[in-house]
Amino acid sequence: MKNFKCIECGKSYLESEVPANGICDDLNCSGQGLTGLIVPDESKNVALQPTVGVIDGGQGKEVGLCVLLMDASGSMGEEPYSTSFPSKYAAKIESAAFAEGKLTKREVVTDAAALAIFELKNLSKKENAYICAIKFDHNPVVMFTKTVAEIINDYRDPKVFAEYLYKELAALNGGTNINGALNLAYSFVKKFIDGTVPGMENCIANVQTQWVGTKSIDIPNVRIMLYTDGEQLSHYGAIVNPFKANNDELDLLIGAYIGNPADSGCRQLEDVMSDCPIHHKKQFYVMDMPNKIATLRGLFRMASGTSGFCPYCIAK
């Protein structure tokens, strides 16, 4: 049985003891109910992991991290992906899970995510590529923190994985609080990059050096991908991108809006997105038409493989 730890207070959990929402329930935890994400304790799970990717000197293993912030609000399951989406189109996409009928936004997203992650099966070190999936409506709930290798081994087929994601997201159906999900992700990512996540101190974020003109920049192999189909509920205030608000050297957040670009929710989200450090284009995507399903899938694959930021990065 795997071991887990809270990233804030370090409380240990057996897999069977992890709270249903994946967030620390210790009343003395400084992040309890807000940022107390529970993740695998790799210091104790080392016997379950392949001994690969270890840096010379035994200092740790170089890994990548993708945090998926997945909108589980009610509108995702009630509204079609596009009002012009013909039902016959569903049979033409490379879908293993949803082959008939007019697809809802939730169906399109879960299908694209599952296919994209399974396309990473030939990734050279998929056992070192972590994915933390967080669903949210008015509250964030952690679905899992696993490596790409574990996901492929556990589900075997993208159809099974897509169905799992769909059921998880359909279990919420509330309103939309984007800030709650962003704050949870920010706390985890900052500690992960700093190497201070309890139980994951042996995991070192891989860094890629990119040349921008005559200047080189170091980009950690970490991405946060957020998608939503609506605006944040007014009583949660304006959307705040903590990666941008805290003046981090790099904003690792990628945003996608599932809906009409004229929606106020689309404008709200786009306004808090930064520019790609390589191509200087918005780290933001609008998914409003059937022909953009391939782009959505590419976005999930790019974020999970932590290899880019903007539409130009996908094309490359």
Over residues 250-263, the pLDDT tens digits come to 899 999 999 989 99
Mean pLDDT of 31-54: 73
Amino acid 208: pLDDT:
85
Give the number of other Cβ atoms within 10 Å of residue 93's Cβ.
18
Amino acid 82: pLDDT:
65
- Where b means 16+ CB within 10 Å and e means fewer, 213-250 reads eeeeeebbbbbbbbbbbbbbbeeeeebbbbbeeeebee
pLDDT over 50 (residue 146): yes
Query: What confidence tier does 56 reach under pLDDT thresholds 50, 70, 90?
Result: very low
- Interatomic CA distance for residues 312 and 295, integer angstroms: 11
- Interatomic CA distance for residues 154 and 157, integer angstroms: 9
- Element at 293 (helix H, strand E): helix 293-304
Q: Which CATH number fits domain 60-315: 3.40.50.410, 2.70.98.10, 3.40.50.10610, 3.20.20.70?
A: 3.40.50.410
* Best CA proximity match to 108, nearest among 132, 133, 90, 87: 90
Amino acid 233: pLDDT:
86
pLDDT over 70 (residue 152): yes
Amino acid 43: pLDDT:
87
Q: Tokens for 121? A: 């099966």
pLDDT over 60 (residue 140): yes
Give the number of other Cβ atoms within 10 Å of residue 255's Cβ.
25
Measure the CA dihedral 150/151/157/158, to 10°: -160
Amino acid 89: pLDDT:
37
User: pLDDT of 269-287, one tens digit each?
Assistant: 999 999 998 888 999 999 9
Amino acid 306: pLDDT:
81
* 99: Cα within 13 Å, side-chain hemisphere: 3
- Interatomic CA distance for residues 22 and 26, integer angstroms: 12
Decide: 132 and 123 in contact? Cβ < 8 Å.
no
- Interatomic CA distance for residues 223 and 251, integer angstroms: 9
Q: Where are the domains of the chain?
A: 1-48, 60-315
User: pLDDT of 181-234, one tens digit each?
Assistant: 999 999 999 999 999 999 998 899 999 887 776 788 888 999 999 999 988 888
- Where b means 16+ CB within 10 Å and e means fewer, 183-210 reads bbbbbbbbbbbeeebbbbebbbbbeeee
Q: Tokens for 58? A: 């035994």
